Structure 1
Amino acid sequence: MSLFKRGETWWVRFTAPNGRRIRQSARTTDKRLAQEYEDTLKARLWREIQLGEKPRRTWQEAVVQWLREKQHKADIRQDRSKLRWLDSHLANHYLDEIDRETVFEIGETKRLESSPTTANRYLALIRSILRIARDEWEWLDHIPRVKLYPEPRRRVRWLTHQQAARLLTELPTHLADLATFTLATGLRQRNASFLRWEQVDLRRGMAWVHADESKSGKAIVVPLNDDALEVLRRRHGEHPDYVFTYNGAPVARTTTKAWYKALDRAGISDFRWHDLRHTWASWHVQAGTSLQELQELGGWSCQEMVLRYAHLGGEHLKRASRRIEGTNLAQDARQDHLRLIASR
């Protein structure tokens, strides 16, 4: 019998025209629907094998292929988390069934659940997978246009030196050390959390992030100032492999209850762990570090990413403005005005 049950769910089992044995779930407890599913599947396989039609691919097949090809991505963990959420919306879809309305509904669900910015991250992932399915895998001929939501321009959130010092005193030791190191080096959370001693040279005062661990895909050299070196010397010997640990394991999670309680006690609001990196960059620009130097220090792939900090500097513009000092424009204009009045 080609239809059979596993628990309450019906499954189909038959041999395709090319001899391939098919055995898969019909994803229904209704026998009539399971029979329709089997008939449709048999007809589709016949057309693919006998007429050479392009096989229909599922969203789940695309996800598996995507993860296989993108496992080198620095943020692949975030992709996996997003794909788990998307699974409840797209798991039963063929790729050619994902149309603009389907994508719009997913975007609206996530927007209402969180924010337009977060929804855009999910929509961008759907768009990337559909594009590669069309352009590289040739699984699709057409894909829907995925429109992103307008995002509010978020100002750069950073702390003053006094606020940072207050926060560090409120954090538990393992988070305080990691936060201090981040404020001294600007490293992204994951790069700092999983920093190994083999990536540190205390004698030379240097550390480095390997290319496969960097968001930009390029190796990053990390000069260690005295603040960073002090933290490393204090941590030296705590763990044979990792620099920053808690209970014998890397400090993988930083935005914990301890983090939020410390923020509250320090009187700091609207502040994420990643804003420590913004703080580091802001301090650099205010101290006179050029944007080109900042780009290299921070491991950004393009200067556009550091332009958000440009307004915090301005010393070079102040010097430029002084080049026409001495023209006394305001005083000359006032004297001309007084002469005009006297002549009347």
Structure 2
Amino acid sequence: MKQASPLFLIDLLKVFAALVIILHHLSSYGQIAADARAFLPSVMNFLYEYGRFAVQIFLVMAGYLATQSLTRFANAKFSSQNLLRVIINRYLRLFAPYIAALVFTILCALIARFWVNDEFVGDQEKMGQFLAHLFFLQGILGLDSISAGVWYVAIDWQLYSVLAVLLITFSSYQALIWFISIVATASLLYFNRSNQYEAYFIYFIGSYSLGVLAYLAKNFADKKIQGLAKLALIAIGVMILLSTLQQVWLRNFLAWFVAIALLVWGNVAYPSSSVTHRLKASLLRAIAWASPRSYCAFLIHFAFILLANTIYIASGMHAHESGLIAVGLMLGVVVSSLIAASYMYRWIEIPSAKLKI
């Protein structure tokens, strides 16, 4: 099994997907979004309608990276007694920056309620709602989300846990691939098309499984397993194509194309700085810097959307209905999110990585 190391495509996709999700939420919430839409209607409408598709990139990559992590345990006689430890450690890995972002968002929402009369700010958070978020149960219990995007963290933990269970349940990777392929197809063509399942892993496991198959097809030591995983990827792609005869689901195509990109280029390293142009080298350094901080940026950005809308209204700038000011504040949210993410990564995420059972 190949060792994990910083890889260009994975880092690029992380940064790109996180940025698109931030822009999608900026185009969705508050007076800033409304005035920016009047100023740049095509751009804002595109981000609003299609920016959410970036979640598919996160899901496929999450499946790819989770398989990279969990197959190490499986190949080392991954036993059932270690299963709970692995699942809890994953929870701890997600928890610290997640809870820090939640607390900060609650404080920002408290400030925003003095000036912003908008549904996206939400009502005063209750203790039961907060506790449900701590254990990733808010979606299952039907509670309002404290922050945009935190549902994804709960789903990521569900999917990782399910994959861990599958790896110790199946005695062979051949059986695992067949089962995952069937479940992925059912998810992509049925469960993912009904909102009643969106709080559960089954709604998202189709895209996640494409990442699992892409990793096995590229990196598994046994060539037969690689071949079977490639065959499964192709078969699922054909079924996605055939399903367009009934209805076109662009997010399924995006997930499949991301899986194929990881299959082809997933192990491509960063270009050597000695053979790249100075501007290109700076861009590569920026991607390498932003990639490990993308999770924190994803978690914290909604708080800055709350603050930006508060400043916009409390200062009276909203009275001008200036799209240029709104777009400037959007840029400020992106920059502030990156700065805050850098501190969260250094002060919270890195130290919390030592929290393991």
Structure 2 length as normaliser, TM-score? 0.23
Larger radius of gyration: 1
Q: When you count strand as a share of all residues, which structure comes out higher? A: 1
Specify which structure has the bigger relative contact order, considering alpha-carbon pairs within 8 angstroms and separated by 6 or more residues: 2
Q: When you count helix as a share of all residues, which structure comes out higher? A: 2
Structure 1 length as normaliser, TM-score? 0.23
